[in-house]
């Protein structure tokens, strides 16, 4: 298949010297590593895709966005694992949530301690088995891990986009990813899969280009944000926007970073990812470093462990994440509501979908609780769309979708094994990861 849009690919070395140019290696250090001396040979654990490096794919055709604005050109950071077969029917697209990236699995070649965010799910013999599936991890436009975003240079001005970067929606991300599929010559994904905001993109694929996705896998997600969800996002955004270092979003020009605001935003977000039980088990009311005889300090410095943890998470996050990206992605979350153009009827919005669906939710997820997933299930059932739904009684709140609950992984593994059987892909060679 000829790509419908012009795209050019460059390797990682252009961007992060001295990373190697190969996309994926299985179990061997990158060639050139020993020459540069920067990377020592690394032991690859069973089930890991090994050392990985991003590729950067440039698209020079303007992208029409939901807001009416146009992104003149863009670049996507991508990692791939496994091999695209001759029929090109074994491709899986993994969509990321708020703060993740294209680095889904394996170990970064330039920092092997940097493990992919869904490494427990994706790899040879894991639930999403890269022995049989060709898996693409993509960083979305607007993000800050290598794809075009607010910190990128605006070709019109030669300066960072900053506040001028266009607002984005889930649909815009899907349309940008469609060109990526074209680039790889993939007419139809075996599956598009994501958790949380990633699940919204999977839903977006099923609605926007139903003919290009065989299975839609939506984990810990929702058909729309609740007032409470939007409320939390708004608090996070206000924390960033009211930081004096924000400068209306053009802080790059001022040489500042709204670190305090971003840090608070992350703290708020983090609370919503965990369950009450989980926080109680992890921290309880344990004091950080009590005064003599276990006394309180009677002040506003860190008193409890939970405060210390949240501050640490917030500060760490603010050193690597872009504040404009945080604003942009939380807004895209707020805007997501496929039923909006169908009089609020989700079933009507999903009527075009021809994919088969797997949905998974977690009992203690109060950010996107099971009831939200059930709305999607109900709409799909109404449309007579094939759907499987698992509701996992896991303790980790929204974060459970990134954790290793064996029931959750068994459901995903079982589902992918059926996809493989449908496509006539070979059988599973190994069981690695959570279920090993």
Partner 1 sequence: MSETRTLAARDALRRADEASSQAATRAIRPDLARIASWIDSGSRVLDLGCGDGTLLAYLRDQKQVEGAGVEFDDARVISAVRRGVRVIQQNLEEGLALFDDQQFDSVVLSQTLQAMHHTEHILREMARVARYGIVSFPNFGYWPHGFSILRGRMPVTGEMPYQWYDTPNIHLCTLKDFEALAAKLKLRITHLATFNGGKEVKFLAGWRSTLAVYRFESPMAAK
Residues labelled as active-site residues: 196, 365, 398
Which of 66, 178, 417, 428 binds partner 1 (CB under 8 A)? It is 417
Cβ-based nearer residue to partner 1, 159 or 282: 282
Determine how β-strand 191-195 pairs with β-strand 159-160: unpaired
Which of 170, 264, 377, 402 binds partner 1 (CB under 8 A)? It is 377
Closest distance between partner 1 and the C-beta of residue 350, in Å?
14
Strand order in the sheet with 111-115: 51-52, 107-108, 111-115
Cis, peptide link before residue 316, omega less than 30° from 0: no
Closest distance between partner 1 and the C-beta of residue 389, in Å?
5
262 phi/psi in degrees, rounded to 5: -65, -40
Closest distance between partner 1 and the C-beta of residue 158, in Å?
53
**Residue 25 near residue 108 (C-beta atoms within 8 A):** no
**Residue 210 near residue 219 (C-beta atoms within 8 A):** no
Which of 407, 427, 429, 436 binds partner 1 (CB under 8 A)? It is 407
HEC per residue, 5-33: CCEEEEEHHHCCCCCCCCCECCCCCCCCH
The count of residues interacting with partner 1 (CB under 8 A) is 30
**Quick check: 348 binds partner 1 (CB under 8 A)?**
no
**Quick check: 276 binds partner 1 (CB under 8 A)?**
no
Closest distance between partner 1 and the C-beta of residue 113, in Å?
27
Taking Cα atoms as reference points, which of 99, 142, 92 lies closest to residue 122? 92
CA 158 to chain centre: 29
| Three-state DSSP class for residue 250 | coil
Q: Cα–Cα distance between 29 and 40 in angstroms, integer?
A: 8
Stretch that binds partner 1, among 79-87, 135-143, 249-257, 414-422 (CB under 8 A): 414-422
Cβ-based nearer residue to partner 1, 313 or 388: 388
Q: What does the DSSP assignment read for 117-137?
A: TTTTTEETTSSEETTT-EEEE
Measure the CA angle with vertex 238, ends 204 and 344; round to 5°. 35
Cβ-based nearer residue to partner 1, 253 or 381: 381
Q: Cα–Cα distance between 130 and 106 in angstroms, integer?
A: 11
Which of 69, 391, 423, 428 binds partner 1 (CB under 8 A)? It is 391
Which of 17, 60, 114, 393 binds partner 1 (CB under 8 A)? It is 393
**Quick check: 250 binds partner 1 (CB under 8 A)?**
no
Stretch that binds partner 1, among 59-67, 134-142, 172-180, 391-399 (CB under 8 A): 391-399
Binding flags for partner 1, 313-332, as an x/- string (CB under 8 A):
--------------------
Q: 282-307 in b/e burial notation, b at 16+ Cβ within 10 A?
A: ebeeebeeeeeeeeeeeeeebbbbbb
Cβ-based nearer residue to partner 1, 27 or 414: 414
Taking Cα atoms as reference points, which of 170, 171, 167, 168 lies closest to residue 208? 171
**Quick check: 387 binds partner 1 (CB under 8 A)?**
yes
**Residue 21 near residue 11 (C-beta atoms within 8 A):** yes
Q: 107-119 in b/e burial notation, b at 16+ Cβ within 10 A?
A: bbbbebeebbbbb
Which of 3, 45, 210, 395 binds partner 1 (CB under 8 A)? It is 395
Stretch that binds partner 1, among 53-61, 99-107, 217-225, 276-284 (CB under 8 A): 276-284
Closest distance between partner 1 and the C-beta of residue 396, in Å?
8
Which of 9, 87, 277, 301 binds partner 1 (CB under 8 A)? It is 277
Cβ-based nearer residue to partner 1, 260 or 409: 409
Cβ-based nearer residue to partner 1, 185 or 406: 406
Judged by the rule CB under 8 A, the positions of this chain that interact with partner 1 are 277-278, 281, 374, 377-378, 381-382, 384, 386-395, 405-407, 410-411, 414-415, 417-418, 421, 435
């Amino acid at each position: 298949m000829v790509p419908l849009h012009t795209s050019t690919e460059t390797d990682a070395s252009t961007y992060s010297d001295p990373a190697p140019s190969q996309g994926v290696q299985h179990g061997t250090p990158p060639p050139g590593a020993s020459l540069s001396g920067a990377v020592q040979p690394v032991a690859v654990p069973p089930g890991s895709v090994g050392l990985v490096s991003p590729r950067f794919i440039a698209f020079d055709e303007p992208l029409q966005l939901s807001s009416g604005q146009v992104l003149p050109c863009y670049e996507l950071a991508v990692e791939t694992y496994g091999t695209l077969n001759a029929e090109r029917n074994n491709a899986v697209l993994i969509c990321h949530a708020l703060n993740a990236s294209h680095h889904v699995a394996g170990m970064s070649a330039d920092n092997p301690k940097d493990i992919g965010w869904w490494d427990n799910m994706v790899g040879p013999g894991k639930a999403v088995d890269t022995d049989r599936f060709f898996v693409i991890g993509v960083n979305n436009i607007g993000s800050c891990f290598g794809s075009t975003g607010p910190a990128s240079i605006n070709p019109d001005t030669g300066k960072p986009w900053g506040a001028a970067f266009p607002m984005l929606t889930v649909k815009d991300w899907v349309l940008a990813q469609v060109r990526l599929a074209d680039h790889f010559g993939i007419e139809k994904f075996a599956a598009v899969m994501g958790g949380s905001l990633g699940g919204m993109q999977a839903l977006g694929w099923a609605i926007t280009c139903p003919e290009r996705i065989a299975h839609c896998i939506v984990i810990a997600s929702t058909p729309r944000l609740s007032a409470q969800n939007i409320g939390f996002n708004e608090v996070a955004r206000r924390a960033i926007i009211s930081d004096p270092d924000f400068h209306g979003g053009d802080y790059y020009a001022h040489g500042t970073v709204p670190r305090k605001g971003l840090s608070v935003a992350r703290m708020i977000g983090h609370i919503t990812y965990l369950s009450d039980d989980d926080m109680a088990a992890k921290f309880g009311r344990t004091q950080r470093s009590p005064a003599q005889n276990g006394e309180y300090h009677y002040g506003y410095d860190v008193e409890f462990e939970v405060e210390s943890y949240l501050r640490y998470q917030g500060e760490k996050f603010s050193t690597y994440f872009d504040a404009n990206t945080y604003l942009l992605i939380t807004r895209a979350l707020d805007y997501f509501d496929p039923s909006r153009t169908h009089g609020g009827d989700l079933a009507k919005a999903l009527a075009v979908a021809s994919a088969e669906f797997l949905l998974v939710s977690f009992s203690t997820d109060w950010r996107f609780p099971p009831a939200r997933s059930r709305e999607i299930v109900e709409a799909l059932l109404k449309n007579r769309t094939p759907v499987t739904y698992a509701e996992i009684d896991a303790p980790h709140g929204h974060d459970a979708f990134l954790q290793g609950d064996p029931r959750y992984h068994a459901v995903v593994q079982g589902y992918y094994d059926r996809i493989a059987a449908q496509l006539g892909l070979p059988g599973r060679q190994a069981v690695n990861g959570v279920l090993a």
